[in-house]
Structure 1
Amino acid sequence: MSVDWINSLRTAVLFSAYIAVSCVGLFLIKSAGSWKSVTFLFGFSLYAGGAVMWMVILRLLPLSFAFPIAAGSLVIGTMLTGALFLKETVGVWQSVGAAMIVAGISLIAGTR
C-alpha cells in the first residue's frame, strides 16, 4: 500500500473520530437535565476528549489545512446532531450553507 493512501486514511479517521466525539459530547451536554448529572459529566468528558484529539490533529497537520476542515465539519456535525436528535429545524439557507461548507472542505482536502 502507498504511504500517501495510508496517511490520507489516518487523517480521515482522526477527523471523523474528533467530530463524532465532539458532537456526541455536545449533544449530551445539551440534553442533560442538570450540570450535576451523569449525562452532563459524560458529555463534558467526551467534549474534553475531543479537545485532546484536536491537539493531536494540530501536531500532525498544518493549521491552515486542519482548521478549515475541522471547523466546517463541526458546523455540519452539530447541525445534523441538532436536526436528528434534538428535533431542531434546518432551513433551506442552512442547507445551502452546509453544502457550500462541504464544497469548501472538499477543495481544501483535495489540495493535500
Structure 2
Amino acid sequence: MTIPFVVNATFACELYLKALAYRSNVNLTGHSLMSLLAALPQGERQHLNQAWENLKKQGISRSAVSMEVVVREMSDCFVDWRYSYDKERVTAPETPAIYDLLDALDAAYWLNI
C-alpha cells in the first residue's frame, strides 16, 4: 500500500462523509473519520448502512469486517499518512476494506439524488 493511495482514499472518504452531512444542512469539520461518522445525520447514516449491507448481500464486499471497524482503522490515516515522514511508523488499514468503504460511501451518496 502506498502513501498516496492511503492519503487520497481516506481524504475521499472524508469528503464523502462531509457531502452526505451537507445534504442534510449539517456542516462537518475535521479529518477524523470516526468523528465525522458519529456526527452524520441519522438519515444519511441509514443510507450509508444500507449501502454497506447491499455490498455484503450482493457478494461484492471485499472485507469481512463491519463498517465501524473499517472506519475506526482508517479514522486518522489521512493525517497520519500525509505526514508519515515525521513518524517512525504508521498503521496500515486493510486495503480491501478501504475499497468497500469507498463503494458504500459512493452508493449512499447517490441513493438520495
TM-score (norm 1): 0.38
Higher relative contact order (CA 8 A, sep 6+): 2
User: Could you say which structure has the higher helix fraction?
Assistant: 1
TM-score (norm 2): 0.38
Larger Rg: 1
